[in-house]
Structure 1
Amino acid sequence: MSWAAIILAGGRGARLGGVDKAGIEVGGRTLLEWALDAVIDAREVVVVGDPVPTQRPVTFTRESPRYGGPAAGLLTGLDALLAPTPYVAVVAVDMPRLTMSTTRRLTEAAAGHDGAVLVGPDGRRQLALVLSTERLRQVRPDHEGQHNLALWRLLAPLTLVEVAVVGEEHRDVDSWTDLRDL
């Protein structure tokens, strides 16, 4: 199945004192490098965040409106894709335990559905999804409706297959304590 990827890297990093999460290192690699590895099978990758050098060709864009949240980032990333694909993987840049195996499980689960979402051990949906681009386009609001739209509200009309995490795939870096504990 052909799919593209959107990496959401445009947040403010408020709980990290405004530090750009994409550049934070875990295990000697930046969070962006970890995220790019998780979507290595993607036909095309859009990073919604500030441009930085990468080893892989990607398209960089900023969410519109700026700091409009994950839903605005997702929709801006969707608009920045150069070629149409039936599915798009959407991952947060701050989840260094995601792997290509994670995205493969999500793409397999999404086939024939509106999409699939990674679900943590506590039952919470994670910011690691594969979505039908056609269905996403059907539920998207106009540009004005994107600002501060909650991601899960945007995706509420979609029926998403839940995929259980393996190991620590759900771990993210929202604070310095999270980083230390990784």
Structure 2
Amino acid sequence: MRYAGIVVAGGSARRLSGVDKPALSVGGKPLLARAIHALEGAERVIAVGPRRPGFDVVWTREPVPGTGPVAALAAGLAFVPDDVEAVAVLAADLPGVRRSTVDRLVAAIGDGDGAVLVDAGGSRQWLLGAWRVAALKAALPEEPENAALRRVLGALAVTEVPAERGEADDIDTPEDLERHC
């Protein structure tokens, strides 16, 4: 299945004192680069957030920056090519995401609306998923600002994909960063 990729690369990183999380380096590679690398099979990669030099992606911002991942997703969807069926959606703070993660998610869509990675605790990781473009567009509210991603995507027919070790990890706190450095 042909797909595009959206990297949600904004956010305020309050628990990390406002640091630019996508620029944080884990294993000598910025987190944003890890997400973009995981999307190597995508027809187009769209990054939603402040423009950062050195990445060959389409950059965009939500109309009102800082209004959440649903608004970022809506902004990114505007740049998804019309001829792709699916879109992989990744947060930009995932040190363990790989191309194989994205490949498994896209393959798991099957006849449903989408697929999300499920962590070891059984929680769906909404910013680690792949979706049929039409289903995603239909699910988005007319006013996406500050909408809850879980509510917007949770109503869709979702296939759960168990995470492999480390795939669902994210960097939200100094302790998370320390664990991965």
What are the Cα deviations for residues 105-159 of structure 1, in whole angstroms up to 9, with x where unaligned?
A: 00000132100000000001112000111011112211xx211101011112201
Question: What RMSD in Å do the two structures reach over aligned CA positions?
Answer: 1.1
Deviation at 1:73, TM superposition (A): 0.8
Q: What is the number of equivalent residue pairs in this alignment?
A: 179
Q: Structure 2 unaligned segments of length 5 or more: list them.
A: none
After TM superposition, the score normalised by the length of structure 1 is 0.94
Paired amino acid for 2:105: L
User: Match for residue 97 of structure 1?
Assistant: 96
For the residues of structure 1 that align with 2:169 and 2:154, how far apart are their CA atoms?
23
User: Match for residue 64 of structure 1?
Assistant: 63
* Residue 76 (structure 1) aligned with residue 75 (structure 2): yes
Deviation at 1:31, TM superposition (A): 0.5
Q: Is the 8 A contact 2:4 2:81 kept in 1?
A: no
After TM superposition, list the pairs within 5 Å mapping 1:5-154 onto structure 2. 5-55=5-55, 57-126=56-125, 127-142=127-142, 145-154=143-152
Q: Structure 1 unaligned segments of length 5 or more: list them.
A: none
The runs of at least 4 aligned residues of structure 1 exceeding 2 Å deviation read 80-84
What are the Cα deviations for residues 6-62 of structure 1, in whole angstroms up to 9, with x where unaligned?
A: 00011111111111111110111100111111111101000001111235x210111
Paired amino acid for 2:44: E
Deviation at 1:83, TM superposition (A): 4.1
Deviation at 1:82, TM superposition (A): 4.3
1:164 equivalent among 155, 162, 165? 162
Q: Is the 8 A contact 2:95 2:169 kept in 1?
A: yes
User: Match for residue 4 of structure 2?
Assistant: 4
